[in-house]
């Protein structure tokens, strides 16, 4: 483990669940829904993120889990693209899940911890986790849980910011202005290389790697090594 990542994990491990909930509660349950409608930057970011996910979306997936779904903006888009699939949205932020369940009654939602997924082994064909790992206390444990609930021939779509200089600059100013609700929300200082290393470390093999958003975002399609 690199010095950067070990220091990041050490810092996050000292965050209490109460403090973490306080950080999450800064974000309104409908934050993404409002932001996409009223903020051009957010609309472009999330619309382009969906485009990247669609490029590598396994179309035959029938049981899908979206971890860190928040108010389910992306979850609902995936459900529309794959209408025959059963998709479950999961987040530990109850207010966002309650909001999503009212807005999308046809989708199943659950309040749960990504570090301890309440599902049996090999329950899903596809796990999606976008812009969530950097907010978790133990991303490695969460990734291990994702691998556990995936079927042997399943896949995971994992996406977050790349940690590039451009992203760090924009994120700094964003959290001082329009995005104040995200102050202290990133518990880990990831970049594309560290994230890829961590994904491999827990037993995934990278099948596809997409850089997007002017190099500010990275999206992986990963599969369990035991399917190879």
The residue extents of the domains of the chain are 3-227
Pick the CATH number of 3-227 from 3.40.50.620, 3.30.420.40, 2.60.120.10, 3.40.50.150: 3.40.50.150
Give pLDDT, residue 186. Answer: 87
Is the pLDDT at 25 greater than 70, yes or no? yes
Give pLDDT, residue 19. Answer: 73
pLDDT digits (tens, 9 = 90+) for 178-192: 889 888 888 888 899
Give the residue with greater pLDDT, 196 vs 21.
Answer: 196
Closest among 125, 159, 115, 141 to 203, alpha carbons compared: 141
Give pLDDT, residue 14. Answer: 60
The token pair that represents 90 in the structure block: 């999961």
Give pLDDT, residue 10. Answer: 43
DSSP-assigned letter for residue 120: -
Lateral strand order in the sheet of 86-91? 108-111, 86-91, 63-67, 124-130, 150-161, 217-224, 204-212
Q: How many CB atoms lie within 10 A of CB 114?
A: 23
> Could you give the C-alpha distances from 115 to 18, 26, 53, 109, 202, in angstroms and in order?
16, 22, 23, 17, 14
Under 8 Å between Cβ of 75 and 40? no
Lowest mean pLDDT among 21-25, 56-60, 67-71, 154-158: 21-25
pLDDT digits (tens, 9 = 90+) for 41-59: 899 999 999 999 999 999 9
Give pLDDT, residue 215. Answer: 95
**What integer is the mean pLDDT of 144-166?**
96
Give pLDDT, residue 4. Answer: 47
pTM of the shown model: 0.90
Give pLDDT, residue 79. Answer: 96
Give pLDDT, residue 139. Answer: 95
Lowest mean pLDDT among 5-9, 192-196, 198-202: 5-9
Q: How many CB atoms lie within 10 A of CB 88?
A: 19
Question: What is the average pLDDT score of the chain?
Answer: 90
Closest among 138, 130, 80, 86 to 110, alpha carbons compared: 86
Place 7 in a pLDDT band, splitting at 50, 70 and 90.
Answer: very low
Q: What is the dihedral of CA 7, 197, 55, 130, to 10 degrees?
A: -30
pLDDT digits (tens, 9 = 90+) for 126-146: 999 999 999 999 999 999 999
Q: How many CB atoms lie within 10 A of CB 146?
A: 26
């Amino acid at each position: 483990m690199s010095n950067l990542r070990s220091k990041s994990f050490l810092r996050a491990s000292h965050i209490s669940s109460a403090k973490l909930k306080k950080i999450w509660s800064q974000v309104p349950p409908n934050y993404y829904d409002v932001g996409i409608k009223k903020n051009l930057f957010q609309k472009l970011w999330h619309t382009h993120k969906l485009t990247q996910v669609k490029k590598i979306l396994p179309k035959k997936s029938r049981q899908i889990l979206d971890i860190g779904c928040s108010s389910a903006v992306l979850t609902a888009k995936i459900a529309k693209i794959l209408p025959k699939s059963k998709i479950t949205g999961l987040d530990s932020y109850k207010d966002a899940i309650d909001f999503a369940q009212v807005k999308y009654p046809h989708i199943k939602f659950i309040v749960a911890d990504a570090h301890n997924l309440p599902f049996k082994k090999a329950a899903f064909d596809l796990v999606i986790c976008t812009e969530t790992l950097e907010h978790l206390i133990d991303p490695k444990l969460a990734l291990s849980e994702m691998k556990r609930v995936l079927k042997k021939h399943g896949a995971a779509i994992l996406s977050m910011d790349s940690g590039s200089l451009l992203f760090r600059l924009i994120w700094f100013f964003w959290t001082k202005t329009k995005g104040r609700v995200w102050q202290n929300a990133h518990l880990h200082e990831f970049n594309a290389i560290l994230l890829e290393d961590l994904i491999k470390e827990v037993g995934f093999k990278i099948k596809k790697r997409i850089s997007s958003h002017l190099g500010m975002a990275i999206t992986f399609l990963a599969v369990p090594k035991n399917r190879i």
